[in-house]
Structure 1
Amino acid sequence: MPVTLRRPQFAFRVATTFVAATAMLQTVFCSGPVAAQSLRDGFDHPPAEARPMVRWWWFGPKVSDAEIVREIKAMKQGGFGGFELAALYPLELDGNQPYLSDAHLAALKLANDAGRAEGLRVDVTLGSGWPFGGPHISADLAAARVTLVKLPLEAKAVSVDLPVLKAGERVLATFVGTSAADAVLVEPAAGKVTVKPAAAARTVFVVLQTPTGQQVKRASVGSEGYVLDHMSPDAVQTHLHAVGDRLLTAFPDAKPYAVFSDSLEAYGTDWTDDLLAEFKKRRGYDLKPHLLKWFDTTPDSAAIRRDWGLTLAELTEERYLTPVNDWAEQNGTRFRSQTYGHPPVTLSSMRRVDLADGEGADWRIFSRMRWASSANHLYGKPVTSAEAWTWLHQGAFQATPLDIKAEADTLMLQGVNHFIAHGWPYSPPEAPEPGWAMYAAAVFNDHNPWWTVMPEVNLYLQRMSWLLQQGEPVADVAIYIPQDDALAASKPGTVSVDGEAGKYITKGLTSQILDAGFSFDYVDDQALSAKGFRARVLILPKMTRIDPAAYAKIEAFVKAGGKVVAVDRFPDSGADLMEADADTAAVKAISARLFKGAVAENAVGAALKTLSARDVTGLTPETGFVHRKLPDGDLYFVANTGNTPVTLPLTFSAGKTGQVWNAVDGTVRVWDGAPVTLAPYESRVFVFGAAASAKLTPVVSAKASSRTLDSGWTLSFGASTKPLAAFGSWTDDPARQHFSGVATYSRTVKLTKADLAAGLTRLNFGNGTPEVIPDGRRNGSRAWLNAPVRDAAEVFVNGQRVGAVWTAPYAIDLKPFLKAGDNRLEIRVANTAVNALAGRPAADYTALKAKYGDRFQPQNMDNLKPLPSGLLQAPVLETAQ
């Protein structure tokens, strides 16, 4: 019979395991900050505020007091430093508490009180689901767009009735002509368009404001409704009062650390009630006669779309970001925002929010994660958090600790120095294991079998977060965001700077910079004047339009000693419609003064090497770096993001010798400039200067020897123990195919004093084998390695916990725990919950959807197959180097 651990057994096993684990890590995961007097002190004992957080999903919401407290204690035990409270769609038919009901608010208060009692940070989402909205948002406060209605006007006809308007709709302008090109503006009256008769048939073009119709996505019970208009002061204030003020009544004694806004995903929006008036005030001309050009392609259309999009971006910044940030400050909290998407915003809009958050794992394309970190670097904000692991190794429960590290490293390569795990699904005690899951996310809670190594995973993230918050970021290269071209490319219902930027900041351009040994940030028009703009080289991607005022800043940058590279072509056009000819002449003149020739995209890396000294050499396309300038030295993070080992002949601009720090196991060694070998998805920190001044004893390599431990093992599943015939996946045994949990490999190892003296103390589980990485883009990320340990192991020697093995290289030094004579070795291996789930039918949500509607679709949860589990090859005891 298949064996699956149920909650009581699993909870007991986790609790007993964590007694040993947390005893070892108690100085790291304390309830209050640790004073770090030096970089090394902080590395050894990183402060509590650097710990990762979780997004804590409450489904329904339906929660119980006891389970809230239990899960908070589990979060702390696993090394998390806090949680963000988020309410989503229901997962049960009955018992759901309406969003912001008295019962829901009482549960929020309990969570805040219990979390703070445990020393955890507490954030809360400023609404349910996303984007913000709900029943308090009427049609006239909802996100809006313009649409074009064409009404036929027969020959000799003199009038036509306008469409019957629905809630939230109004006529903005009417035009009459044989086509959009020759149509002229006419004013309707009494619901009709009246014109002089004509011999030919014509068309009445009606530009209509209408709600986009978008509803809040993944809404909890009681929070259903329209998405708000982010450019409407009335809509934003209505939401802050109806939701924000009510939400904060659950925090009477201690306000949340921050309130959170997810990415702007108000798709289709391109209008707000007073856009015509605001447009004229800001752009200097009347938009109304030009409205048809939004839907057509004319010589003026691109400039009008740019002006239109820029006005939307300004209104979003002034009417949404600024007042929400002000509201948060007035209420004793902070505003954390993912400031990108629809409606449009600029990179510099993020200066208006307290805390900038991002997402996106791919570090070698245009990235909204780097968009957020760049803004923080430019405007002097030291912490960039990430909504991390959003689509990690879909579906739920597929993700492993190695997957976590693989994506974490790519996020850090983009400037991340704080993690918010996506996420932690609340799960009631009565739910069958492995409990509830969010439809499109990895599971980071204690229902996951490999939860046993969560403290070590979080310790790595905590160490790296703290290290990468030290000093100042170093980015010798900046890429200019071509926001005018991006907005000029707008289409009805699709207006976004970051949504278009990837067409200009291409994967090829990004690769040229990274492969040449440079790190980079983005910069936009306004940030060219920011104090944090310290780049030596500015790159203009293949672009056409630019505001002459911004171009003048770039010319001043060059006069001050900076270098500028134009990719493939020069800007040759102004941005707006009003001063088109004069602005175009000014742009062309600046281009003529700045450039003798453009640089082909595939030659940008070579050009950079002639313009600035490289920060790092010896990298491969799979390896990247981050450089932080410290008050007394330099710190570099180097990561292998590939699934094969690499040997890197690294050189750093900061020095030739220093120290190399391993944030996984906490070891520190001398680095003398020798090539560095990194296993798949392995990383290191290199430290130079006074921060690396502590004297270390150089490691002397002993004569290599090894002993394969391929026999004498037993394998235990709960109370069932049998001799191990051979290493390999335990799913090869039909009786164990659907086992999800922990199995224990045990044997005795005899060692002599000579063995110990020779350093025969390192237990190596093997390298694993790379998997084929499919072509094409995918949601999220994963590690493409069939690891030798599936998927995490705790190692015990003579009854004492040595540590955990969860990432490459899959090895651990047992030296402090070994003795001459017999040594009892236990390896407790945990897999994922997928195997248990594969042995049962997929969840049936038919009744749930019949009652509440289709609010979510589980991702990649059909046709699950058992995954390899256990130790896939015999461990080797070898000489520690």
Structure 2
Amino acid sequence: MTGVAADIVRAVREPAPHAAPLMRWWWFSSHVSEAAIDADLDAMRDAGIGGVEVAFVYPVADGGPGFGSRELLALVAYAARGAERRGLRFDLTLGAGWPFGGPHVDAATAARGLHWERIELAPGVTGIAYRPPFDGDVVVSAYVGAGSLQETPASWEPAEVGDRIRVPAFGDGPRVLLIAVSRLTGQNVKRAPRGGEGLVLDHYSAVAARAHLDAVAAPLLEAAGAARVHAGFCDSFEVYDADWTPDLPEEFRARRGYDVLPSLWMLRVDAPGGSRIRADLMTTLSELFEERFLAVFAEWAHAHGILFRAQCYGEPPMLTSSFRHVDLFEGEGWGWRRWTKNSWAVSAASAYGRTIVSSETWTWVRSPSFRAGPLDLLGEAYEHLLGGVNLLFGHGWPVGAALGAGEPVFYASGALDARNPWWSVARELFDGIARASAVLQLGRRIAQVGVYHPVAELRARAEGERPFDLWRQTRRFVDDAFVSAVRTSGLDHDLVDDASLAAGGTERFEVVLVPAGCTPTPRADALLTASGVRVVRLTEPAGEARDAEIRAALAPVVPPLATSRPETVGVTTRQLDDARVSLIVNTAATAEEVVLEATGRALTVWDAVSGRVRAVSADGPAIVRLGSYDGVLVAQADAVLEMGTDARAVAPGPRPALDVSGWSVVSPGGRRSVALPHVWEDDPAVAPETERLVYETDVTLDRAGDVVVDFGEGIIAPRAGRASSFAVPADPPVAVVAHVDVDGTPVGDVWRPPFSIGLGRLTAGRHVLTIAVSSLGVRAAAAAAVDGSDAAAIAADGVRFRVQDAERRAVGVRSGILRAPSFRLSER
């Protein structure tokens, strides 16, 4: 076995703490304590979670340490020491709430945007006294044109701005005065903790960035101890409507070579040349943000011996190439066939040679809180990993959750903590995710398709809401269907702009697609021509014709691992020196028989969660049956890497059915007979707060043999709610975890496909089978959680959030054994 092959086997077999999922740790300013910290860190470590990212957010009750207070900093120090002692990674959010800001921000350092006043002037008026209405307002420039509010002027001239705005007469007719005012956006820090409230800072100002680092980040890092902190973190940028900074005119002139003020009115009024002004202004804003925020934060982090991790998308306007200013790249958004922010971050990582790409995961998983089961978490994790990321940050863990009842939940995420009744399988879940992540951290991700990013078009013309969010605006050219057409061809893609093309690496592409309506810049054309890559300029802007055009362009490209079900079976592949390794996941609602083929290579197929071998092939295709959101890891090498088969996946031939009946439910109140399927919500004898119920039956064998219990396929259920909220398309037939014992000896748990379990070799005679079913947390756990929406909390701290979808928490929930299991016996 070569060294590379050994690396693959080691990643599959051995624990991978460097790849274990981490958790965003929500620190509510009302609930942080040493007891909560210790309980949470112990619970996370025991569940296989690799570390935490502390996020400081709103209070859910009265009291608690204020943000930045000596008491809170002492708790930060206590948590950092506790994480270090337990071998957990410790990341620190470099601010409170989001976007960054707070009480240290004033009118000189707060986010600003251009505000426009349009005033009609009567004939004869040659001047007007204009006093901006709000504190912090500054008149930037003014323009006048002959016309009225109804008849828009055909041209505009600058007006003289002083104590009074002086305007030319233009004859005896009416005129329109257009005034550009630099105004504070007024945006406050969202979800701020008590003591962290205030204005959002100017992200185009190095002075504002450094003031924030001095006032907020430095005390936090000093308290934690830089040696204990892996990275400082900045969440996605949501600095809305901020398109100005005081020295923008001077910076624009220096960078673009001309004065913007005479033409600034074109931002408000359509005119020839307006596209150039808009594009140049957005380019200047992007540069200022990169240099004065990202680079300043990274420089500060490096000076203090830590890394800088950020989600570089949103507003201010930024590109995939903006990631080059940070150390650790992070995305978010599930969907291997969708245009996600993971695509943005992963593309940047490919361009700049970064091996690890993390993702904010489970943000809205099966909303609301406690509604997600372990299979939902596994399914969404696979959607992120198929998108090219290889390290997950769970969103998230509410502080104190491990203390149990009476502890809070976050308003907008799954409650991914030990209060869930199914938590006994959390270790298996998170270890499985760590295994897949570790394998996907090997080598280099294969992306044979480049997609040219129409940056010039996006900057020159924005549509709809959030014009400065270039990730969102990219959907005009690269939408979900575009991505799906590439991925369901068995291939993967990277978005490339001029800067990332200049960084090199174009040899990894076999084809570059240029979206319709997009013209590569001369610089990009030269780089693509020099690389020799095949460039296909699409002619169809959208729809089935565009998707067919994409598939035709990609038809000559051979996938790194071919599957018989490319439309529903997702593939992501990593290239090592003399081998390849892939994650394969069936994302259909039903089980699929999948043929895997890589010409001339031997295939070794492991179960992605357990690491057990499921199939091997020395010289031909491998065939594996995959349930809905069932995943496997596949190595392509010169020889099979491991032998053996996984009993979960490979049946030893036909098995005679056993006649098993007479099920009972056992509870502290006694024993009663039930018929399967048994749905708790339909049985009035099951108390509403029940979260665990034990079923029992006898199995009598007339001869010794191996017994398998099969609960059948998942149950396809209708889905309603948020489009951004992931849920597996089929509910497990045991809702949501079955803990199986035979004659008092634990056998294992059933919670993911295939929903079957071997009981081992049983002797002839009578055996007692016990199945303890654990439900979702929507019953007692959710009822005992604190969400902070009560009148007292609102009176103390105002409305800082609204709990997501709480009214739908129990809608459609079905708990229990939803399919009667079958029993099969085989002799050896």
- TM-score bracket, shorter-length normalisation: over 0.9
Of residues 27, 38, 43 in structure 2, which corresponds to 1:69? Answer: 38
- Going from structure 1 to structure 2, the CA distance change for 1:476 and 1:431 (only over 3 Å counts) comes to closer
Q: Is the contact between residue 401 and residue 418 of structure 2 (CA under 8 Å) also seen in structure 1?
A: no
Verify the 8 A CA contact 1:51 1:418 in the aligned structure 2: yes
Q: Which residue of 2 aligns with 1:554?
A: 528
Deviations 1:545-577 (A, max 9, x none): 4432122212222xx3x111111179xxxxxxx
What are the residue-to-residue correspondences of 1:396-795 with 2, within 5 Å? 396-427=369-400, 432=405, 435-490=407-462, 494-533=467-506, 534-557=508-531, 560=532, 562-568=533-539, 600-610=546-556, 615-652=561-598, 655=600, 657-672=602-617, 673-690=621-638, 692-696=640-644, 702-707=652-657, 710-718=660-668, 720-736=670-686, 738-751=688-701, 754-756=704-706, 761-772=707-718, 778-795=723-740
Corresponding residue for residue 157 of structure 2: 184
Per the alignment, do residues 694 and 252 of structure 1 end up closer, same or farther by CA in structure 2, a change over 3 Å counting?
A: closer
Change (3 A) 1:662 1:107: same
TM-score, structure 1 as length reference: 0.87
- Distance 1:355-1:752 versus aligned 2 partners, 3 A rule: farther
Residue type of the alignment partner of 1:455: R
What are the Cα deviations for residues 447-489 of structure 1, in whole angstroms up to 9, with x where unaligned?
Answer: 1111111011101101101010011111111111111111112
Contact 2:489 2:567 in 1 (8 A): no
User: How many residues are treated as equivalent by the alignment?
Assistant: 807
Partner of 2:774: 830
Deviation at 1:207, TM superposition (A): 0.7
Q: Aligned pair in 2 of structure 1 residues 156, 792: CA closer, same or farther (>3 Å)?
A: same
Equivalent residue in structure 1 for 2:88, among 120, 126, 135: 120
Which whole-Å CA distance do the structure 2 matches of 1:278 and 1:633 have between them? 50
Matches within 5 A, 1:58-137: 58-93=27-62, 95-137=63-105
- Superposed displacement of residue 413, structure 1: 1.1
CA contact (8 A) 1:456 1:804 kept: no
CA contact under 8 A between 1:305 and 1:490: conserved in structure 2? Answer: no
State whether residues 788 and 871 of structure 1, in contact with CA within 8 Å, keep that contact through their aligned partners in structure 2. yes
Q: Specify whether residues 568 and 101 from structure 1 end up closer, same or farther in structure 2 by C-alpha distance, changes over 3 A only.
A: same
Give the secondary-structure state (helix, strand or coil) at the position aligned to 2:487.
helix
Task: Please tell me whether the aligned partners of residues 151 and 204 of structure 1 are also in contact (alpha carbons under 8 angstroms).
Answer: yes
Alpha carbons 2:402, 2:417 under 8 Å: kept: no
**Residue 325 of structure 2 corresponds to which residue in structure 1?**
352
Tell me if the contact between 1:217 and 1:855 (Cα under 8 Å) persists in the aligned partners.
Answer: yes
Q: Is 1:216 the equivalent of 2:189? A: yes
Helix, strand or coil at the partner of 1:38? helix
Q: Is the CA contact (8 Å cut-off) linking 2:226 and 2:304 kept in structure 1?
A: no
Secondary structure of the 1:308 match is helix
Alignment-mate amino acid for residue 666 of structure 1:
G
Deviation at 1:440, TM superposition (A): 1.1
Distance 1:259 1:154, change over 3 A: same
Q: Is structure 2 residue 807 aligned with structure 1 residue 852? A: no
> SS of the residue aligned with 2:708?
strand
User: Within 1, Cα distance between the matches of 2:784 and 2:438?
Assistant: 43
**Cα drift, residue 712 of structure 1:** 3.6
Name the SS of the counterpart of 2:96 in structure 1.
coil
Supply the AA of the counterpart residue of 1:328.
Answer: A
Say which SS state the counterpart of residue 676 (structure 1) adopts: strand
Q: CA deviation digits over 1:168-215, x for unaligned, max 9?
A: 321111101124531101221224334347411112110111111111
Deviation, 1:710, is 4.3
What is the DSSP-based 3-state SS (H/G/I as helix, E as strand, rest coil) of the residue aligned with 2:422?
helix
Q: Is the 8 A contact 2:401 2:417 kept in 1?
A: no
Identity of aligned residues (%): 33
Spell out, residue by residue over 1:12-39, the C-alpha distance to the aligned partner (whole angstroms, 9 max, x if none).
xxxxxxxxxxxxxxxxxxxxxxx99632
Aligned-partner SS, 2:195:
coil
Change (3 A) 1:225 1:770: same
Partner AA of 2:741 in structure 1: F
User: CA offsets, 1:281-334, max 9 Å, x none?
Assistant: 111111111111111222212222111111111111111111111111111111
Q: Who is 2:143 aligned against? A: 175
Cα distance 1:430–1:56, how it changes in 2: closer, same or farther (>3 A)? closer
- CA distance in 2 between counterparts of 1:252 and 1:688 reads 44
Structure 1 unpaired stretches of 5+: 1-34, 571-598
Name the CA shift for 1:200/1:46 in 2 (closer, same or farther; >3 Å). Answer: same
Residue-by-residue CA offset, 1:647-706 (whole Å, 9 max, x unaligned): 2333235x4541111022321144331443221111111111157434447998633114
Counterparts of 1:111 and 1:752, CA distance in 2: 58
Partner of 1:574: none
Q: Is the 8 A contact 1:390 1:422 kept in 2?
A: yes
- Check conservation: 2:159, 2:165, Cα contact below 8 A: no
Q: TM-score, normalised by structure 2?
A: 0.92
Q: What is the aligned partner in structure 2 of residue 266 from structure 1?
A: 239
For residues 147-162 of structure 1, what are the structure 2 equivalents within 5 Å?
A: 147-162=115-130
Contact 1:740 1:834 in 2 (8 A): no
**Any gaps of 5 or more consecutive residues in structure 2?**
147-151
Mapped to 2, the partners of 1:260 and 1:516 lie a distance apart of 36
Question: What is the CA–CA distance in structure 2 between the aligned matches of 1:432 and 1:709, rounded to whole Å?
Answer: 43
CA separation of 1:793/1:701 partners in 2, compared to 1, >3 Å: closer, same or farther? closer
Q: Which of 731, 745, 757 is residue 812 of structure 1 equivalent to? A: 757
Looking at structure 1, the residues matched to 43 and 646 of structure 2 have their Cα atoms a distance apart, in angstroms, of: 40
Change (3 A) 1:780 1:701: closer
Contact 1:55–1:86, Cα closer than 8 Å, also in 2: yes
- The residue identity in structure 2 corresponding to 1:834 is V
CA RMSD, 1 decimal:
2.6
State the partner residue of 1:582: none
**In 2, distance between residues paired with 1:339 and 1:785?**
34
- Distance 1:505-1:430 versus aligned 2 partners, 3 A rule: closer
